[in-house]
Amino acid sequence: AERRIALIGANGSGKSSLTRLLSARYGLQPVFEAVDENPYLSDFYERMDLYGFHSQIFFLARRLKQHLAMVNPGEHIVQDRTVFEDAKIFATNLHRQGIMNDRDFASYMELYEAVSLALRPPDLLVYLQSDLKRLRQQIELRGRDFEAGISDTYLLQLQDLYEEWIGSYTASKLLIIPATDLDFVHDEADRAFV
């Protein structure tokens, strides 16, 4: 049986909600993303070019601490977003878009590569696949001020990178959930399906 489950997906795909539901239903220890603790995040969404590297380094450091303290030694874990996404999706997107320069990206990836050697992959990686309309609805519903300015282009770029990364993922079992039309928070049948 899978004991370490990691949930991945773009902003608004339902990771945090599903983390809470799985934690409650199966007695798993939830490990949430440190979104509200990132001192660079609101600045990042205002000026990605100035704060992209700083924000990514904060997430990498925080997620490494979480992983070493809770995920590596944990026996029954559900994780909301992974350190792997930080590098393979978010930092890579910033680099591809020219927001993070080559030098900063190379430094970031060198640190990530060293860090990743100490991390246990999940037993099961669950990708919540959602379309742009659904992501946008969920982002608006949760009402985080700093997310209000996220462009559709940015979300689509993230989705493209998720699809690209998932296509070559082999570190653990993988489950792709087509979450666009699912409401596992409010709909009992959808929750049972998931």
Catalytic residues: 80
Identify whether the C-beta of residue 127 lies closer than 8 Å to the C-beta of residue 51: no
